[in-house]
Amino acid sequence: MVNIVVMAGGKGERFWPKSLRSMPKQFHKIVSDKTMIQETFYRIYPEIDKKNIYFIANKNLSKLIKSQIPEVSDNNMIIEPFGKNTAAAIGLAATYIKRNDPNGVMVILTADHVVKPKDEFLKAIDVASKVAEKGYLVTFGITPDRPATEYGYIEVDNKLDDKYDLDVYKVRMFREKPDLETAKGFLEKGKFFWNSGMFAFKVSTILNEIERHIPKLYTGLSKIDKSIGTRNEEDIKSTEFEKFDDVSIDYAVMEKAESIACVIPGYEWDDVGSWNGLYRHKKRDENGNVVEGNTVVVDSRDTIVLGDTNSMVAAVGLDGIIVIKNEDRILVCAKDKDQLVKKAIKLMEGNPDFRKYL
C-alpha cells in the first residue's frame, strides 16, 4: 500500500511577516485561491484514498490543518510534541504507519511547494513507489532551469536497468547549496538535479536505515512505538523527542545510505521558499512590479509591494525591492537579499520585546 505523509510543521520564516508561528506559510494563499496545504492535499486527493494520507505537525498546527482540510480525520494526524527537523518527523510517521501497514511504502511530501500539473505528479508518485518497493530510498530530482543557489543538488550516476515510465537514476552524491559558479558548473556537466525534499521508501527500509545511521533516534522511536495506545503515549513521546538531535533526513540518512535512487518527474516544481520566489508566480505590471492590497506604486520596477486591508502603502522610486505589510509588521529588503530574512528572525528571537512579532 502507498501511504502519503505530508510534513506540515514548517515555520516558513523567510515569508515573514505574512508567515507567523501561529499561522505559517503553508496555511496562506500564496500562489492561488487555495492555501499551500490545500493545494498539496487536492493534488493527490481523491486519486489517493484519504485514509492513506497522513499529516505530521504539532498540536496547534494540526487544528489549522483540520480547519482547512475537513476531509482529514484524527486517525490521520500524527502529532509531534515539537519540531525536531525531518529525521525525527519521518521516523515518527514511519513508527505510526508501521502498525497498520508494516510492508507499505511512504511517500514524503512537503506542505508548501508549487507542483503542476497534477497528473504528472501522480505519475511520479507511482513510479517512485514502485522503485521503493525494491528496497531503494527514493528522492525526486528536479531538472534545473537556472543555476539556483537556494537548493541542494543531487548528482546521479547510471540509470536503473528496470523500465519505468520516468527516468530513474542511481544517486552518486548529494551536494549542499552551491555558490553561483558551482551551480553553473553543475548545469554544464548535466546529471545534477535539484533536491526537492520529497522522498519515497518502504516503512521497513527507512526504519532500518534510521537504526543504522541514527541509533539514538531509533531507540527513542522504539519506546514511542511501545507506548502507542497507552495513557503514557504523549508523555513518552515528549520525553523521547527532547533527546532527539535536530537533524534533517537528508544529512542523517540519505547522504550516508547506499541504495539511493532518483526519479526525474515531468512536473514543474518550485518550493517558493522566499518572497523573491513568489515573483516567479505572480502577475506583474508593465514595469515588472507585483502589487497587491491597498498600495500605490510610482516610478518603480521589478519590485514586490504587498499591502493589507487595514492601511495604505505607497512605494516610490524603488528598483528590485520587497515591501510586505501585515498589520503591525513590515518587511523592506532587496530582492536579492531575501534569503537573509531568517537572520532578521533570529535577531527578533533574541529580543524579548520583539518575539511577539514572530
pLDDT at 88: 97
- The total domain count for the chain is 2
pLDDT at 266: 95
Q: Give me the residues of the chain with pLDDT under 50, please.
A: none
Instruction: Reduce the DSSP state of residue 96 to 3 states and report it.
Output: helix
Between β-strands 53-58 and 77-80, what pairing exists: parallel, antiparallel or unpaired?
Answer: parallel
* Grid coordinates of 36: 499551500
- Do 281 and 333 sit in the same domain of this protein? yes
Between β-strands 77-80 and 167-175, what pairing exists: parallel, antiparallel or unpaired?
Answer: unpaired
Among residues 253, 273, 293, which one ends one of the domains?
A: 273
pLDDT at 153: 96
CATH of the domain at 77: 3.90.550.10
pLDDT at 333: 96
- Do 130 and 234 sit in the same domain of this protein? yes
pLDDT at 272: 85
pLDDT at 166: 96
Among residues 238, 273, 308, which one ends one of the domains?
A: 273
Among residues 254, 273, 292, which one ends one of the domains?
A: 273
Neighbours of 163 (CB within 10 A): 6
Residue identified by cell 500539473 is 117
What domain range is 231 assigned to? 2-273
Neighbours of 261 (CB within 10 A): 26
The predicted model scores a pTM of 0.93
